[in-house]
Structure 1
Amino acid sequence: MEKVELVFGEKKTDQTYITRPGAYAIIFNETKNQVMTVQSLKTGNYFLPGGGIENKETPEQCLHREALEEIGCKIELGDFLGSAGNYFYSPTYDTYYFMIGYFYMARIVEKVQESIEPDETYGWMDTSKAKQDLVHAHHRWALKKAMEI
Structure 2
Amino acid sequence: MIPRIGDVPLRGQPYRLRPGAYAVLERDGRILLTFQSAPIPEYQLPGGGIDPGESPLPALHREVYEETGWHIARPRRMGVFRRFVYMPDYDIFAEKICHVYRARPVLRHGPPLEPGHSAAWLPLDRAIAAVGNDGDREFLIRLGLNAG
Q: TM-score scaled to structure 1, two decimals? A: 0.87
Aligned to 1:21, the other structure's residue is in SS state strand
List, as ranges, runs of 4+ consecutive aligned residues in structure 1 with deviation greater than 4 Å.
none
Aligned to 1:128, the other structure's residue is in SS state helix
Distance 2:70 2:145 in 1: 25
Say whether 1:83 aligns with 2:80.
Answer: yes
Q: Percent sequence identity over matched residues?
A: 28
Aligned to 1:113, the other structure's residue is in SS state coil
Query: What is the aligned counterpart of 1:47 among 44, 47, 59?
Result: 44
Distance 2:97 2:118 in 1: 23
Distance 1:96 1:110 in 2: 35
Q: Deviations over 1:21-70 (max 9, x none)?
A: 10011011212xx2111111112111101110012111111111112211
Gap regions ≥5 residues in structure 1: none
Aligned to 2:62, the other structure's residue is in SS state helix
Aligned 8 A contact 1:86 1:136 in 2? no
Count of residues in Structure 1 that have an aligned counterpart in Structure 2: 144
Say whether 1:66 aligns with 2:81.
Answer: no
Q: TM-score scaled to structure 2, two decimals? A: 0.88
What is the Cα-based RMSD across aligned positions, in Å?
1.6
Aligned 8 A contact 1:10 1:88 in 2? no
